Amino acid sequence: MKFEFAALPWQIIFGAGALQRLPEELDRRNLGRVLVLSTPEQRHHADAVATLIGPRSVGIFDQAVMHVPTTTVAAAHELAQSLEADCTVSIGGGSTTGLGKVLALKYDLANVAIPTTYAGSEMTNIWGMTEDGKKTTGRDNKVVPRFSIYDPELTLDLPAAISGPSGINAMAQAVVNVTASEPNPIISALASDAIRALAGSLATVVTEPHNLEARTQALYGACLAGAALGTGVTSLHHRLCHTLGGSFNTPHADTHAILLAYSVAYNSAAVPEGTRRVAEAMGVADAAQGIYDLVRQVSQKTNLQHIGLTAADLDEAAAIATATPCSNPAEVTRTSVRELLEHAYQGVRPHS
């Protein structure tokens, strides 16, 4: 066995009620002037954080939106400067965490994350921002939060329609690393446990949103899946999701949820051992079919037509996705990708 592994500078505080640790953790790091970040929908969470940290909070920016537009970054930075903030605390999903990361990247503003979805962005060094409709991404350890607080109680009000796809988005980060061409054993171990935790909890999360044990398992799975993405690889699956999101404006988590079973089926012959490990972690006989069945339990959107794709879009999507080389266990050709997309468009049961 030969491998290399470099962990990111993660500092994680996990558990029901962990949010209460925020004031002392800020003090420990001399982060005294905090700008709280949220989406407009989660303003109540931002208000609760501001109240909890008292005078350390110098303001709230509640305009975080999907894909981190540069105009939003500029507005948040201007507010941070005028308030002399020395740190941001993002409370929310990947969109809010993403804003804190870009502020850290561009302006060296320390960032803290309190995730409330299963996106897992707080565990990665990946940043992304959008200018004039074009998304740029990169990796930089500077964007890894100073610390992250995972409090499953904050996820109890995450609607089922967001929870299910968001959980499958996390699972995708783990699955692509277990089924990589040359899986890294440490990342694969993290990822397998992520799959186990998510597969064992997501159905309960959507039927019993206030089940704290299921929410805890799902959030733990998301944390591990983010760790796998942060230190591991992406493959054709992520290329396809970014193609559909970037060029056809499809919703991030739903796109992952719809495509994952087909991405696994596509690679299964090339990486049989990794595919078997995914099935084992899920407790099913066949990985692609297990994911297909789970998605139908936890999400209403199960084919590409449900997120606005038309049959005419599929040729263009296949062309864009294969325009540049993509690292993936199975060979990537325009014809085979077009076929994958056709299956996802029809929502047919995948065959490994």
The residues of the shown chain that bind ligand NAD, judged by CB under 6 A, are 39, 41-42, 66-67, 92-96, 98, 116-117, 119-121, 124, 126, 128, 154-155, 157-158, 162, 166, 229, 252-253
Residue closer to ligand NAD by CB (options 167, 350) is 167
Please, what is the minimum distance in Å from the beta carbon of residue 154 to ligand NAD? 6
Min. distance of Cβ 121 from ligand NAD in angstroms?
3
Which is nearer to ligand NAD, 159 or 272 (by Cβ)?
159
Bridge partners, residue 35, by sequence: 59, 88
**Residue 124, SS3 per DSSP:** coil
What is the token pair recorded at 162?
């967001």
Comparing CA positions, the residue from 345, 347, 41, 300 lying closest to residue 165 is 300
CB of 343 to ligand NAD, least distance (A): 24
8 Å CB contact between 35 and 87: yes
Q: Output 99 or 344, the one with its CB closest to ligand NAD.
A: 99
Closest approach, Cβ 15 to ligand NAD, in A, equals 16
Q: Give, in order, the Cα–Cα distances in Å from 158 to each of 92, 167, 252.
A: 10, 11, 16
- Considering the complex, state which of residue 92 and residue 221 has its C-beta at the smaller distance from ligand NAD: 92
User: Minimum CB separation from ligand NAD for residue 96, in Å?
Assistant: 6
- DSSP code string of 305-332: GGGT--TTHHHHHHHHHTSS----SS--
Contact 121, 101 (CB under 8 A): yes
Between 39 and 275, CB nearer to ligand NAD: 39
How far is Cα 256 from Cα 115, in angstroms, rounded to an integer?
A: 19
- Please calculate the CA angle 6-8-14 and round it to the nearest 5 degrees: 130
Comparing every residue's Cβ against ligand NAD, the nearest one is 94
**Rounded least distance, CB 174 to ligand NAD, Å:** 12
Buried b (16+ CB within 10 A) or exposed e, 115-126: bbbbbbbbbbbb
**Nearer to ligand NAD by C-beta: 166 or 275?**
166
